[in-house]
Amino acid sequence: MKKSPVFLAILMIALVALPGFSQAKIKVLFMPGVTDPFYFTMEKGIRAAAAKAGVDLTVAEYPKAWGPEYQIPILQAAVARQKPDLLLIAPTSTDALKAPLKAIYDGGTEIITVDTFLGDGDYSKPSDYSFPLSYIGSDNELGGKQMAEHLAKLVGETGKVFCEATNPDTSSVQGRVKGFTAGVAEYPNMTLVGVEWCLDVQQKAQEQTLAALQKNKDIVGIFGTNVFSAQGAYQAVVNAGLTGAVKICSWDATKDLIGALKKGQVDLVLAQKPGEMGSLAVDWGVKYLKDKKNVKVPKKVIPGFEFFTRDNVDDPSMQQFIYQ
């Protein structure tokens, strides 16, 4: 078969190229989820912490679309290029990443998942996904619930609301939707008319929101679970000429959303703390690597979040939470 001579050649070269060298500096690899200001900000936090700790940092290519079939090949290639001692990754799927990450873990790398998690996120119980050191990310469920409460206040606690979400197999989004649904349920005069999944594509979010607005003429509030869905949702509201009549609350404080908040197109923005997530991940990981016997890394580290409204958006103390 035509493949075999090529394969043999590679095999022979491999026997020479296989062994790697270990170096003194700790090697850290950051595998982000997708091209998105949230992860850019996280990268900044990681870089700062890495510089302070004196470790070697590599940032893998940012996948241009969210999904394990985009992220896993990039991850494998990056690990093959240079085996890291510590891997910081935002897994783009709760299930699909288990096997590849386990293989990397078995190869000797320590893993911390940031922003999203594997399985159900509880690494303290032994399971097929309990091998990571820790999960560092927002309490998405709590955030979703608080989002519902804020939105309820904005719409006077009555009316129909709609949720535009992204990927159903992403832990963070699952949490937000769950929290939001539970939160809305606490208001007897409010109904959640639907949850749509735009798969992290802004245009799809726009189309789905537009369709929802046409179907339910009296939607008063929309929750966009991340940058893409929130931006798509407010595009749709603008398109339908309903700015002002529909309140939009969104997750992730990108410059665009903050701008939209100031202009009145969006009414509420939740800011996570990606920079803090990144630096915490580096700090804990390095601490552990330097002294494995004595350091106990908490299995969950939850930085908080902040809410931006039109009232506090210009506060100097709030500016640091905007994703740069």
Partner 1 sequence: MADTASSTAAPVPSPLVRAAARNWSALFLILLFVAFGFAAPNFLSIQNIQSVVHLQTVPFLLAASETFVIITGGIDLSIGFVMGLCSVSAAEIVQLLAAKGLSGGTAVALASIAVLLLSLLPGLVNGVVITRFKVPPFIATLGMWGMANGLALKLCDGFPVAGLPDFLPRLGNGYLFYALPGNFVSLFDKPAGFPDARIRELWRLIPFSLPFIVAVLGFLAFRLSRTPFGRHTYAIGGSMDAAVRSGIDVDRHLVKVYVLSSFLAGVGGVFNVFQTGIGNYTTFNASYEFFAIAAVVIGGASLSGGKGRIFGSAVGVLVLAFLENGLDISGVQPFYRYIAVGVLLVVAVVIDKLFPDLL
Partner 2 sequence: MNDKEKVPRKSTLRGFLGGRWVAIFLVLEIVFFMFKSQGFATVNSAQILLFYGTQVFLLAVAELFVVVTGGIDLSVGYILGFASIISIKIVDALVAAGLSVPASILAGTVATLVIGLVPGLVNGWLVAWLRVPPFIATFSMLGVCHGVSELVINGVYAMGMPQLAADIGNGNLLYKAPHLPFIFFRRPEVERGTPVLALIPNIVVAAAIVILIFAFVLRRTRFGRHLYAIGGSMDAAVRAGIPVRRRILQVYALSSFLASLAGVTYAFMYVSGKADAGASLLLDAIAAVMIGGASMFGGTGTVGRTMIGALVLAVLDLGLRMAGIATFDKYILVGAILVLAVIAARYLPEAQHPVSEDRK
The footprint of partner 1 (CB under 8 A) covers 34-36, 62-65, 201-204, 206, 210-211, 214-215, 217-218, 228, 231, 235, 238-242, 244-245, 255-256, 259, 263
Name the nearest CA neighbour of 234 among 273, 261, 198. Answer: 261
Q: In whole angstroms, what is the distance from residue 253 CA to residue 271 CA?
A: 5
Residues 164-193 that bind partner 2 (CB under 8 A): 167-169
Rounded Cα gap, residues 33 and 70, in angstroms: 9
- Interface with partner 2, residue 292, by CB under 8 A: no
Residue placing its CB nearer to partner 2 in the complex, 138 or 167: 167
Closest CA to 270 of 307, 227, 314: 307
24 lines the binding site for partner 2 (CB under 8 A): no
Q: Please identify which residue in 25, 51, 107, 153 interacts with partner 2, judged by CB under 8 A.
A: 107
Task: Name which of partner 1, partner 2, none residue 1 binds, using a CB cut-off of 5 to 8 Å depending on partner kind.
Answer: partner 2
Nearer to partner 2, 106 or 291 (CB): 106
126 lies in the binding site for partner 2 (CB under 8 A): no
Nearer to partner 1, 62 or 105 (CB): 62
Residue position matching structure tokens 């404080």? 253
Segment (H or E) for 307: strand 306-308
Provide the CB-side half-sphere exposure for 80 (13 A, CA). 9
Distance CA 193, CA 118 (A): 29
Q: Using CB under 8 A as the criterion, what x/- string covers residues 191-220 for binding partner 2?
A: -----xx-----------------------
Q: In what order do the strands lie in the sheet with 306-308?
A: 190-197, 159-165, 219-224, 247-251, 268-271, 306-308
The answer to the question of residue 124 lying near partner 2 (CB under 8 A) is: no
Q: Please pick, from the candidates 128, 186, 218, 314, the single residue that binds partner 2 as defined by CB under 8 A.
A: 128
**108 touches which of partner 1, partner 2, none (CB within 5 to 8 A by kind)?**
partner 2
Integer Cα distance of 117 and 111 in angstroms: 11
Q: How far is the CB of 28 from partner 1 (least distance, A)?
A: 23
Any contact of residue 93 with partner 2 (CB under 8 A)?
yes
From the list partner 1, partner 2, none, pick the one residue 314 interacts with, judged by a Cβ distance below 5 to 8 Å according to partner type. none
The residues, any chain, with a CB within 8 Å of residue 319's CB and separated by 6 or more, are: none
Indicate which single residue of 77, 185, 238, 295 sits in contact with partner 2 (rule: CB under 8 A).
77
| DSSP assignment string, 26-57 | PEEEEE-SSSSHHHHHHHHHHHHHHHHHT-EE
Residues 236-265 that bind partner 2 (CB under 8 A): none
Q: How does strand 56-59 pair with strand 268-271?
A: unpaired
- Residue at 72: amino acid letter: I
Binding site for partner 2 (CB under 8 A): 1-3, 6-7, 10-11, 13-14, 17-18, 61, 64, 68-69, 72-74, 76-78, 80-82, 93, 95-96, 98-100, 103, 105-108, 128, 167-169, 196-197
